[in-house]
Structure 1
Amino acid sequence: MTQADRTGSAGVATRRENEGAVAEEVPLPHTAAATRVIAAGPVARKDRLAALDGLRFLAALSVVLFHFIGQTPQAMIVVWGRPYQTTFPALHGYFAFGRLGVDLFFLISGFVICMSAWGRTPRDFFISRVTRLYPMYWVAIVVSACVIYLADSPFGHPNPRVLFANFTMLQTPLGVANLDPVYWTLWPELCFYLTFAVVVWKGLTHQRVVIFCGLWTVAAVLAPSAHIPLLTLIVNPTSAPYFIAGMSFYLMYRYRPTPLLWGIVAMSWLLALHFLLAPHGGRNNWDTWSPWRGWLVLVTTVFFLLVGAIALGWTRWIRWRGLTVAGAMTFPLYLLHDTLGMTVAHHYGDRVAPATLVGVTVSILILLSYLAHRFVERPIALAMRRSLNTAAFGLQPPTPRP
């Protein structure tokens, strides 16, 4: 779902959607920047940012390993039945940083969503997002519910009301717990889509995206001190800097770097670190790993640098198709690993060597995620897309039956 260009005389080129779900054709204005892509001919498909797919998979894998190895001491006891000192004493402190993979997800999402929405109508954007998020999410909820309600999992047996609310993906504003804790990231994503849809409706331009980034930054700064729950719920202050930086990086990729865009990225980086290190009110509690706080700054900075390198075109030489496949199965891996993986660790943690159990389970989860994407997520998404593409979205009633 990529395109690199500047506004100018119109030319057309095609790229595939970088999320790996559905291929799409998008208009690509012909400019000096776009000429480099068009001139390459068949390379346009290879230049679909395989490095971004690879980063996405690494982010998912880091979250998976965090849940197995680096969770809080209390969570490790719940999952493994014993403290981390007897399971992963040497690795626990390192893999605790795997939770930062979610921040990398948000950073990539800002880049990718801005890229995929360019030149689309609000209808196209809506269909793209719905068919991207909901099919695999619904499948994951069904799988997770079966495990949670039918097996002895460390997730308890929540009220069925929780299950029904989670199917809507609106459990956070409804004040309902996530059926699987990893679902918390879907609300910031959904808020980003909903607010960004306003810009899509007006028509994406460099200026409008920059203004959107500026307004969101101001809202994210004011929300914590304004004590307006609705504002905080919508702007997601702790996640906003990553989305904003991702959009700015995409503008660099599509046009060229400017002092203004670098300024937005720098401000986002500073705010990200501020919220990350906040002793109260932030979504991360790093008290257990307080000696490692300097590494938090380093890891977050590396994330920004990696996406910046992609935005500047330094990774165009990376064209391995395997990265595209890995990126495509990232969403299933993220949604399925927690309930399934933690239940396996809960049941077999005292029977199998922890390192062996983690290695085997993660390998199976990766294979399962590929199969889920190939034979479940993609077919359902394509069917939904075909159906929605032919549906009438107007408020007028359909033609009466004869």
Structure 2
Amino acid sequence: MTARPPTDRPRLRELDLLRFVAAFLVVLHHYVGRISGWGVPNHHHMPGIAQIAHFGNLGVDLFFLISGFVILMSAWGRGVGDFAVSRTVRIFPCYWFGAAIALAGYALVGETPMQSHSPLRPFLPNLTMLQTGIGMPNMEVVYWTLWVELHFYVLIAMLVWRGITYERCVAFMAIWLLLGLFAQESNFTVLTTALMPPWTPYFVAGMAFYLIHRFGPNLLMWLIVSGCWALAVPYRVGTVNPELAWPQVWDAVITGGVTFAFLIMAMVATHQFDMVRWRGFTLLGALTYPLYLVHETVGRLLDEALGPWLDRWTLLVVSFAAALAAAYLVHRFVEEPAQRWLRPRMKTALVRLRQARLPLARNQNPSSATAEIVR
């Protein structure tokens, strides 16, 4: 079971749609919270939608489930270098631009990132996506999820290095889940930091859903998924922010939301959405990442510029429309061109790295050897 995925594998457009839904929930959560005020006491400012936006951060849970599915799918049959190149090309160009416009946005409105006295000080560390590791604040609040994703990429890279098979995937998933719990129980900070137990159930369940989708369901996979769900619910219920605390409501809605996300992914895994073929969902999926990265910057600027002049509902609509437009422009004129420029150069660097492991024939110069490998 080490064969490469088929090159004509149909695109799972249902995942594009679900990614966009997850991003929409996060954007709604941030925009309504910013415009009407955080917490239950402010629900009356935007009744109806405020109660829904209160729990929009559950979009992150859906993101992590999808990530477990998609990253395992994309890593299957690849080497570590190919996997690293694909992830670098995919996530960094748009991220760099997002961090740059966040810096410009803070300068325009005279604000600073949370826990920072200046937007310039955390900017350079943020460009590496490693800012949390050195204790620097995020340029935008949503960047914390990218740090969690980076943990997942490193762990998956270890599996890729060993060689992905069905059996090794199952062993990897079980060891990751259990080792993280043991580390948390023993307060082993290093392992707890590396294995991120509160979010592990989502990534592991996502991987299990991909194995079900690719190889078919079986009792072991459903037991793993069920165990992940049983851990994810109490973890998530316990992460309530005091600003979002909602007695007698929070626990029930979070439990229902996490459960619904697992059920939706179970339907994807068992091909219940195979009829979804509308190409428009592919565009929505493409806009998800830039929308996720830039929406806070766009919302902050519009709130400063238009907040005194527009009513709350109009400002919400205008902000969301502007964020979507900005996401499209970033995707079309930044992300796509940057990826086209970066991809071949990263692949060339990878070829040269691999070339260094090969014996160089006498009288053969390095550039001609590189050309030969590329051919």
Report the TM-score when normalising by structure 1: 0.82
Give the drift of 1:201.
1.0
CA distance in 1: counterparts of 2:188 and 2:149, whole angstroms:
20
Between 65-74 and 303-312, the greater mean CA deviation after superposition: 65-74
Map of 1:182-201 to 2, 5 A cutoff? Answer: 182-201=142-161
Question: Is 1:320 matched up with 2:278?
Answer: yes
CA distance in 1: counterparts of 2:316 and 2:75, whole angstroms:
38
Say how many residue pairs are matched: 356
Residue 65 of structure 2: aligned partner: 107
CA distance in 2: counterparts of 1:126 and 1:101, whole angstroms:
26
Residue 163 of structure 1: aligned partner: 123
Residue 289 of structure 1: aligned partner: 246
Residue 310 of structure 1: aligned partner: 268
Residue 387 of structure 1: aligned partner: 345
Matched residue type, 1:303: A
8 Å Cα contact 2:4/2:77 also seen in 1? no
8 Å Cα contact 1:276/1:284 also seen in 2? no
Residue 50 of structure 1: aligned partner: 13
Map of 1:86-125 to 2, 5 A cutoff? Answer: 87-125=45-83
Give the drift of 1:396.
4.6
Matched residue type, 1:254: R
CA distance in 1: counterparts of 2:65 and 2:216, whole angstroms:
19
Question: Is 1:236 matched up with 2:214?
Answer: no
CA distance in 1: counterparts of 2:356 and 2:137, whole angstroms:
37
Change (3 A) 1:366 1:200: same
Change (3 A) 1:291 1:76: closer
Give the drift of 1:394.
4.8
Report the TM-score when normalising by structure 2: 0.88
Question: Is 1:263 matched up with 2:223?
Answer: yes
Give the drift of 1:283.
6.6
Matched residue type, 1:393: L
CA distance in 2: counterparts of 1:252 and 1:198, whole angstroms:
22
CA distance in 1: counterparts of 2:176 and 2:244, whole angstroms:
29
Question: Is 1:60 matched up with 2:23?
Answer: yes
8 Å Cα contact 2:67/2:206 also seen in 1? yes
Question: Is 1:226 matched up with 2:212?
Answer: no
8 Å Cα contact 1:153/1:343 also seen in 2? no
CA distance in 1: counterparts of 2:283 and 2:72, whole angstroms:
21
8 Å Cα contact 1:93/1:289 also seen in 2? no
Give the drift of 1:320.
0.5
Give the drift of 1:229.
2.4
Change (3 A) 1:187 1:354: same
Change (3 A) 1:394 1:12: closer
CA distance in 2: counterparts of 1:226 and 1:200, whole angstroms:
29
CA distance in 2: counterparts of 1:379 and 1:308, whole angstroms:
35
Give the drift of 1:286.
7.4
Residue 322 of structure 2: aligned partner: 364
Give the drift of 1:222.
2.2
**Structure with more helix by fraction:** 2
**Residue 245 of structure 2 aligns to a residue in which SS?**
helix
Give the drift of 1:237.
1.5
**Residue 181 of structure 1 aligns to a residue in which SS?**
coil
Residue 335 of structure 1: aligned partner: 293
Matched residue type, 1:383: W
8 Å Cα contact 1:110/1:246 also seen in 2? yes
Give the drift of 1:246.
0.2
What is the RMSD of the two structures over their aligned residues, measured on CA atoms? Answer: 2.6
8 Å Cα contact 2:16/2:286 also seen in 1? yes
8 Å Cα contact 2:184/2:197 also seen in 1? yes
Matched residue type, 1:14: T
Which stretches in structure 1 are left out of the alignment for 5+ residues? 1-6, 16-43, 78-82
Question: Is 1:216 matched up with 2:173?
Answer: no
Which stretches in structure 2 are left out of the alignment for 5+ residues? 368-375
Matched residue type, 1:60: A
Runs of 4+ in 1 over 3 A off after TM superposition: 10-13, 70-77, 152-157, 282-287, 394-401
Give the drift of 1:14.
1.9
**Residue 289 of structure 1 aligns to a residue in which SS?**
coil
8 Å Cα contact 2:298/2:322 also seen in 1? no
Change (3 A) 1:85 1:153: farther
Q: Deviations over 1:168-192 (max 9, x none)?
A: 1001111111111110001110010
CA distance in 1: counterparts of 2:129 and 2:275, whole angstroms:
38
**Residue 229 of structure 2 aligns to a residue in which SS?**
helix
